[in-house]
């Protein structure tokens, strides 16, 4: 019974890990500065496409070759505009073979020059 519990926790639990994670640096920028995005994609046979960027601003797409795809992708977003709410929303999104979306977002504060 203990062996079954270990097997369940290790192998079935792996599918519960996030398919994609995101790191955005810095987390506070002045309007017009750049943001560095790092998307880490867990290797999975069904991974087909990675989209990443800022909501409503810029998107980059990368084809993924399933379990053989690279695990890390980077993007520099130049000249971040001033959003109306003062927060940019970077995202990374993996689309799988079944068109399921695995998306993660974060917030970056944008200090705007409003004269």
pLDDT at position 4? 54
Q: Calculate the average pLDDT of the chain.
A: 88
Q: Domain of residue 77: give its range.
A: 19-111
Q: Which CATH number is 103's domain given?
A: 2.60.40.730
The answer to whether position 11 is within a domain reads: no
Angle made by CA atoms 86, 103, 96, in degrees to the nearest 5: 155
Give a yes or no: residue 14 inside a domain.
Answer: no
pLDDT tens column, 28-47: 999 999 999 999 999 999 99
- Which pLDDT belongs to residue 15? 61
Q: What is the pLDDT of residues 80-111, one digit of tens each?
A: 999 989 999 999 999 999 999 999 999 999 99
Q: Is residue 12 part of a domain?
A: no
**In this model, does residue 16 exceed pLDDT 80?**
no
- How many angstroms separate the Cα of 81 from the Cα of each of 32, 107, 113? 6, 14, 11
Angle, alpha carbons 84-85-88 (nearest 5°)? 95
State the pLDDT confidence band at 2, using cuts at 50, 70 and 90: low
Q: Is residue 70 part of a domain?
A: yes
pTM of the model: 0.82
Residue 2 falls within a domain, yes or no?
no
Residue 7 lies in a domain: no
Q: What percent of the chain has pLDDT over 90?
A: 75
In a domain, 90, yes or no: yes
pLDDT recorded at residue 63: 96
């Amino acid at each position: 019974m203990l062996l079954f519990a270990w097997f369940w926790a290790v192998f079935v639990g792996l599918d519960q890990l996030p398919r994609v994670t995101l790191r955005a640096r810095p987390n506070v920028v002045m309007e017009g500065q750049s943001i560095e995005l790092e998307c880490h994609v867990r290797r999975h046979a069904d991974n087909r496409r990675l989209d990443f960027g800022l909501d409503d601003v810029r998107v980059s797409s990368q084809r993924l070759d399933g379990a053989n795809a690279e695990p890390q992708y980077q993007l520099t977003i130049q000249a971040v505009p001033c959003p109306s709410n003062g927060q940019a929303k970077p995202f990374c999104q993996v689309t799988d073979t079944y068109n399921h979306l695995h998306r993660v977002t974060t917030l970056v504060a944008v200090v705007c020059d409003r004269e």
